[in-house]
Amino acid sequence: MNRARTEVTQIAPEVLSRYEAVIGLEVHAQLETLTKAFCACSTNFGDPPNSNTCPVCLGLPGALPVLNKKALQLALRASLALNCKIQRRSRFARKNYFYPDLPKGYQISMYELPLATEGFLEITLEGETKRIGITRLHMEDDAGKSLHEGFPDSDRWSYIDFNRCGVPLIEIVSEPDLRTPAEAYAYLNTLKQILEYTEVSDCNMEEGSLRCDANVSVRLRGAPKFGTKAEVKNLNSFRYLSHALEFEIERQIGVLESGGAVTQETRLWNVTAGRTEPMRSKEFAHDYRYFPDPDLLPVAVLDHIVEEVRRIMPELPAARMARFVREYALTPYDAGVLTANRELADYFEAAVRAGAPPKTAANWIGVELLRRLNDLGKEIGDCPVSPGALAELLQQVESGNITAASGKKVFAAMFETSKSAAQIIAEEGFAQISDPGAIEAVARTVVAKSPDNVAKYRSGNEGVFKFFVGQVMRETRGQANPQLVNEVLKRVLSES
């Protein structure tokens, strides 16, 4: 057991509940461009180390950066999607610090004149909607990567890969409007969804395309002023974010309860130890000596550019959810499930276009399909059943060619074999049994086997009827037409 964790969880719930947390998030997202922010090098993830470099991103003397137009367009798109005011004039600055993975000796980042300000996004938690302010959104470039492990001589050497040097990022800084780890989680999730829908970033957290730092403080409920905050870095998964915030909030309450004061500092989430720890002071320097980058012109965003970005803005998640409710008569819950990610929403709409009834498709995708994908640990992009193939299956069910029960079996087989519904129905003999004679033969066998239940039914116990239906369905592998089964059984049971 980890000692620090045990210590903080010893705070009594009634003490914890006297405090509230104040949280703001700083999120870095890698823009989905083919080339880097200020040079023509590829941004492709996973290429051989140091293969995507040039004098500009290596910071060689005399090299001149040129802003990537696509990166600016994506940053503007994100700004509009997050309801920000776009600044007519913004400027890149040099943020000076030394680190081996930063060959220029400075990061290029918008500082005193950011690209956009005063935005917001809305989170929904347990049916309640809350607006979270966005202070600013600015552009910057990424540093390279230091590789401290994975090599035979990693105990003696660190390796550096400069491929990530100069990759375009946006940083989105929220207002300190979040009060709980759950709200922070919802904020990051909503932000990720918006950036994915707008194709601003692939938001792949494993590849580092979306990274998160948090500013956290606590205060007694109702206190007018914020407490002293700590910055927690390295929250690069939703799980880390939740755990680190829970830990940090309890830690700060513990400090205050024991009569101490929270230190303003930068802390790191230690994944292995499950706690936040102060960074060694030499690892962060507060004086970056920012100054305007003399090699880059200020960015002037004219109205017609903003209008053009607005015109080609993809449909945002909230709008798509509302449209699903309106256009396909789905419940808000189903619409929420289907629009949780853009690929799933696209899949659903493709199935509907291919002829699937919308409500049925929503049910099947939300339950059967997601469950099976989840079991296999797969994403919708790897789904072995195409939207067209699902539509075909649902039409077989709707038309009564197969029962819903058989449909689920056919669907399972489609998942495993990638064969079409028609093919599986023909091969496995799943077609619905609609011949009254055949159903009657089964019904008579079932009835003959259970004289006790027949007696109960005849003495007025209607409940046993379900037993007979179940038996007939079992004997016919769920393929008998349910309505016919009901009719035939009633007739057979009523005969004296």
Q: What is the CA radius of gyration of the chain?
A: 30
Residue reference for tokens 């706690």: 275
HSE of 437, CA atoms in CB hemisphere, 13 A: 0
Enumerate residues 55-74 that contact Zn ion by CB under 5 A. 56-57
> Cβ distance 45 to 77 under 8 Å?
no
Residue 138 beta carbon to Zn ion: minimum distance, rounded to whole angstroms: 21
Return the number of the residue (164 or 409) whose C-beta is nearest Zn ion. 164
Q: How far is it, in rounded angstroms, from Cα 194 to Cα 189?
A: 9
Q: Token pair of 439, please?
A: 């159903």
Using the rule CB under 5 A, give the single segment among 17-25, 54-62, 176-184, 222-230 that binds Zn ion: 54-62
Q: Is 245 in the site for Zn ion (CB under 5 A)?
A: no
Residue 53 beta carbon to Zn ion: minimum distance, rounded to whole angstroms: 6
Residue 54 beta carbon to Zn ion: minimum distance, rounded to whole angstroms: 3
Q: Is 102 in the site for Zn ion (CB under 5 A)?
A: no
Residue 200 beta carbon to Zn ion: minimum distance, rounded to whole angstroms: 22
Alpha-carbon torsion, ordered 380, 120, 198, 162, to 10 deg: -90
Q: Is 160 in the site for Zn ion (CB under 5 A)?
A: no
Exactly one of 11, 15, 54, 147 binds Zn ion (CB under 5 A); that residue is 54
Residue 140 beta carbon to Zn ion: minimum distance, rounded to whole angstroms: 16
Return the number of the residue (57 or 232) whose C-beta is nearest Zn ion. 57
Return the number of the residue (94 or 243) whose C-beta is nearest Zn ion. 94
Return the number of the residue (54 or 473) whose C-beta is nearest Zn ion. 54
Using the rule CB under 5 A, give the single segment among 31-39, 221-229, 408-416, 429-437 that binds Zn ion: 31-39
Residue 107 beta carbon to Zn ion: minimum distance, rounded to whole angstroms: 15
Return the number of the residue (37 or 78) whose C-beta is nearest Zn ion. 37
Buried b (16+ CB within 10 A) or exposed e, 238-268: eebbbbbbbbbbbbbbbbbeeeeebeeebbb
Residue 49 beta carbon to Zn ion: minimum distance, rounded to whole angstroms: 14
Return the number of the residue (54 or 422) whose C-beta is nearest Zn ion. 54
Q: Is 167 in the site for Zn ion (CB under 5 A)?
A: no
Residue 148 beta carbon to Zn ion: minimum distance, rounded to whole angstroms: 24
Enumerate residues 33-52 that contact Zn ion by CB under 5 A. 39, 41
DSSP per-residue letters across 212-279: EEEEEEEEETT-SS----EEEE---SHHHHHHHHHHHHHHHHHHHHTT------EEEEETTTTEEEEP
Residue 37 beta carbon to Zn ion: minimum distance, rounded to whole angstroms: 9
Q: How far is it, in rounded angstroms, from Cα 258 to Cα 11?
A: 11
CA neighbor of 19 nearest in space, from 250, 177, 176, 263: 250
Total residues at interface with Zn ion (CB under 5 A): 5
Return the number of the residue (59 or 482) whose C-beta is nearest Zn ion. 59
Return the number of the residue (164 or 233) whose C-beta is nearest Zn ion. 164
Q: Is 8 in the site for Zn ion (CB under 5 A)?
A: no
DSSP per-residue letters across 25-38: EEEEEE---SB-SS
380 DSSP assignment: G
Distance, C-alpha 160 to centroid of its chain: 30
Binding residues for Zn ion, per CB under 5 A? 39, 41, 54, 56-57
